[in-house]
Amino acid sequence: MAAATLVGIDENGLGPRLGPLVVTAVTARATDDKAAKVLLGRPGRAFGSRIGDSKALVSYKDGALGQAWARVLGEATGVSAASPRELALGLALEDETSLMAQCPGHHKAQCWSPDGEAFDAPPDLVANVRKDLGRLERRGVCVQSVRVAIVCTRRLNQAADAGTSRFQVDLHAMERLVLDARSRAPEDVVAMCGKVGGYNQYVDAFGPLSGRLHSVLTEGRARSEYAIPGVGRVAFVRDADEQHLLVCLASLVGKYVRDLLTARVVRHHARDLPALPLVSGYHDPVTARFVEETEGSRRAAAFPIDCFERRAVT
């Protein structure tokens, strides 16, 4: 492979009860075959434990590493941010107006209030991440963009009402990110995406990519890959966030943004209930307690359930 534009894409928050679905793409230019192999291979020992599966390295209680990567990659791609709010909006695929278009006017603060937020990753961790990016650059890698597709709970519920599952929403967000990357690349791209749900065959489920000329390169449980003229090669790979460095980076950034936005939901509803703990938003006993104990205050405030808790396709 000569010089090429590569894209790593992964989702965070596909299955929770609370908070948004976040799908992230990191686009990088590889100057030669060796650089491409770095991006498409497993992270090497030189990166220590700073690049890898976000589920193992970042949690909703400790998002410092994801924050560090989001800040450093943002800086490298022209996103200047003095706060988490500016960073999230700078990385977002949609602008602020579009993101808030579905929000009830008097309840926007749940998802968009930055009260209580600050950058808190240790300076030495941020410095080490900058060094990691420098190592990649010396090996022929130039990160060109980071884009985050944010699908709020209300939009997920609207999709469910229309018969569109969260897996389809996830897939369509990935497609949008691929097309966004291609629109700014000098040639067709090579995109590596995390596997979506139990799909082995993707063409019939495509949304933004539907109707395009394509050829099937492979379809199976471990990998499904397609060649799409005018777009490039798009692969869906099982455990991609463990196998491909570029997908690892996307997952780390997405985990930070997902946890940042979910923490806003928690703070908003716990402001009058200080005994409630920080929760992940997933299907666990602590989140269940949070949902139960905020029911009264949400009802009193006429807070729309569509903007709070996800529901499945009926």
What are the tens digits of pLDDT across the range 207-249? 999 999 999 999 999 999 999 999 999 999 999 988 899 999 9
**Strand 189-194 to 141-151 pairing:** unpaired
The residue to which tokens 């807070």 are assigned: 303
Going along the chain from its start, the domains and CATH numbers come out as 4-264 (3.30.420)
Q: Indicate the pTM of the whole model.
A: 0.95
Q: Is residue 162 over pLDDT 80?
A: yes
Comparing CA positions, the residue from 38, 248, 5 lying closest to residue 138 is 38
Place of tokens 């402001």: 271
Q: How far apart are CA 88 and CA 198, in angstroms?
A: 30
Q: Which long-range contacts (CB under 8 A, 24 or more apart) does 118-125 make?
A: 118/83, 118/84, 119/67, 119/71, 119/83, 119/84, 120/64, 120/67, 121/64, 121/65, 121/67, 121/68, 121/71, 122/64, 125/50, 125/64, 125/65, 125/68
Per-residue model confidence as pLDDT tens digits over 178-214: 999 999 999 999 999 999 988 999 999 999 999 999 9
